[in-house]
Amino acid sequence: MAAARACLVALAVAAALFLEGTAAAGNAGAAPLKQRRRQLLRQRQVRSHLKRLNKAPLATIESPDGDLIDCVHISNQPAFDHPFLKNHTIQMRPAYHPEGLYDESKVASQQQTQTITQMWHQNGKCPEDTIPIRRTKKEDVLRASSVRRYGKKRHRSTPNPMSVDPDMLNESGHQHAIAYVEGDKYYGAKATINVWQPKIEQANEFSLSQLWILGGSFGQDLNSIEAGWQVSPDLYGDNNTRLFTYWTSDAYQATGCYNLLCSGFIQINNQIAMGASIFPISNYGGSQYDINILVWKDPKEGNWWLQFDG
Ligand SMILES: *[C@@H]1O[C@H](CO)[C@@H](O)[C@H](O)[C@H]1NC(C)=O
Ligand SMILES: *[C@@H]1O[C@H](CO)[C@@H](O)[C@H](O)[C@H]1NC(C)=O
Ligand SMILES: *[C@@H]1O[C@H](CO)[C@@H](O)[C@H](O)[C@H]1NC(C)=O
């Protein structure tokens, strides 16, 4: 019997998404002394941000792509920095799983020989009771427009994907191809996404394929859960295809982030690192690789779960 598949349940999101405490940046000032002070302040901010994000690992695995994957004790992950999650008991299995999907995955795991892997798997595994976290480097934070914005989308640049206005579909050079449903009560969605590595032509470009679950309204109280793959040199410093998640509970303003780059997302799986490179990827006329993403809400506990497998 195929019991648990390799990467079955990857992550759980706490029922309520939480407001983050963020520090205000310094004042603007033109004088050289002020500038120097600002530089020092930024350096200090970067250092303390890195200290907050990068938890003491029990082991570290160096990926061929240059990433450092820290195996951090599950109870020491960034989610638990949030005061609302201080006493949280980690739920290791969902109390509810959408009907039929477990069966389907058992059948699939017997037929399918290829499983999705991440590049760092070539050099090791994280022990039980830890979760793999992609270590944030100083350069990662320095590429962001500010320390505060690192790991977050610019909310003004997030257009409504359901808009049929042709201008919106090309907002700030973004081009979208989407399929969507709306209007009913939805408790989840599933997608199988073919994994590619689109060419990036300039530094601030990005490319992605994702599942996106939305509630509320754009510009106001939008709640969003996103997951898929992305190529984003801005965020990761290279052109690799990486697994990602994103969430916000206030229309991309104060809350939310990619992966585990803020508190909110609780991970339980010890094999998948959010933000790490997916490997192998599909090539034209050759082997094809997919990822399966399932997001659902446990109607009793109110938690949203994310399952990822290949
Ligand atoms: C966590 O537990 C401690 C001890 O029981 C309690 O004093 C504290 O208020 C709790 N914190 C939260 C956020 O529930
Ligand atoms: C979409 O954006 C690109 C890049 O900014 C631009 O070259 C193109 O003309 C735009 N297309 C439409 C239909 O507006
Ligand atoms: C990403 O791709 C661009 C364009 O192909 C290239 O100029 C750049 O050097 C690549 N970046 C990395 C880190 O490989």
pLDDT tens figures, 196-252 = 999 998 878 999 999 999 998 877 788 999 999 999 999 999 999 999 999 999 888
The model's pTM is 0.82
Say how far apart CA 46 and CA 255 lie, in whole Å.
19
Q: Are 18 and 263 in contact, with CB atoms under 8 Å apart? A: yes
Q: Is 278 helix (H, G, I), strand (E, B) or coil?
A: strand
Q: Rounded to the nearest whole angstrom, what is the distance from the C-alpha of residue 14 to the centroid of ligand 1?
A: 17
DSSP string, 101-155: HHHHHHHHHHH-----EEGGGGG--PPTTEEEEEPPPHHHHHHSSSTTTTT---G
- pLDDT tens column, 51-64: 999 999 999 999 99
163: CB partners within 8 A, 6+ apart: 169
**Average pLDDT of span 26-30:** 42
Give yes or no for residue 173 CB within 6 A of ligand 2.
Answer: yes
102: CB partners within 8 A, 6+ apart: none
Please state the three-class secondary structure of 155-211 as a single string: HHHCCCCCCCCCCHHHHHHCCCCCCCCCCCCCCEEEEEEECCCCCCCCCCCCEEEEE
Q: Are 244 and 257 in contact, with CB atoms under 8 Å apart? A: no
Give the pLDDT score at 25: 33
Say how far apart CA 206 and CA 200 lie, in whole Å.
7
Asked if residue 103 has pLDDT above 60, the reply is no
Asked if residue 133 has pLDDT above 50, the reply is yes
Task: Specify the higher pLDDT residue, 145 or 273.
Answer: 273
ω into 233 cis (within 30 of 0): no
Give yes or no for residue 200 CB within 6 A of ligand 3.
Answer: yes
Work out the burial of residue 276: count CB atoms within 10 Å of its CB; fewer than 13 is exposed, 13-18 middle, 19 or more buried.
buried
Question: Domain spans of the chain?
Answer: 9-19+58-309
Q: Are 199 and 205 in contact, with CB atoms under 8 Å apart? A: no
Asked if residue 100 has pLDDT above 70, the reply is no
Give yes or no for residue 176 CB within 6 A of ligand 2.
Answer: no
Give the pLDDT score at 6: 30
Q: What is the mean pLDDT of the chain?
A: 83
Asked if residue 277 has pLDDT above 50, the reply is yes
Give the pLDDT score at 164: 53
Atom 14 of ligand 1, nearest CA residue: 87
DSSP assigned state of 4 = S
Q: Binning pLDDT at 50, 70 and 90, where does residue 22 land?
A: very low
Tokens of 276: 């790490």
Atom 2 of ligand 1, nearest CA residue: 87
Asked if residue 106 has pLDDT above 60, the reply is no
Nearest to 159 by CA among 255, 95, 224: 224
- pLDDT tens column, 154-194: 766 566 666 655 555 566 677 788 888 988 899 999 999 99
Tokens of 74: 């599950």
Q: Are 215 and 184 in contact, with CB atoms under 8 Å apart? A: no
Q: Are 13 and 304 in contact, with CB atoms under 8 Å apart? A: yes
Unique residue bearing structure tokens 């609302």: 84
Give the pLDDT score at 32: 85
Give yes or no for residue 170 CB within 6 A of ligand 2.
Answer: yes
DSSP assigned state of 81 = G
Give the pLDDT score at 2: 31
**Average pLDDT of span 283-295:** 94
Give the pLDDT score at 177: 85
Q: What percent of the chain clears pLDDT 90, i.e. is strictly above it?
A: 60
Give the pLDDT score at 168: 55
Asked if residue 28 has pLDDT above 80, the reply is no
Q: Binning pLDDT at 50, 70 and 90, where does residue 309 land?
A: confident
Task: Specify the higher pLDDT residue, 125 or 106.
Answer: 125
Give yes or no for residue 239 CB within 6 A of ligand 3.
Answer: yes
Could you report how far apart the first and last alpha carbons of the chain are, in Å?
19
DSSP assigned state of 66 = S
β-pairing, 265-267 vs 257-258, is unpaired
Distance of CA 240 to the CA centre of its chain: 15
Tokens of 293: 């993403």
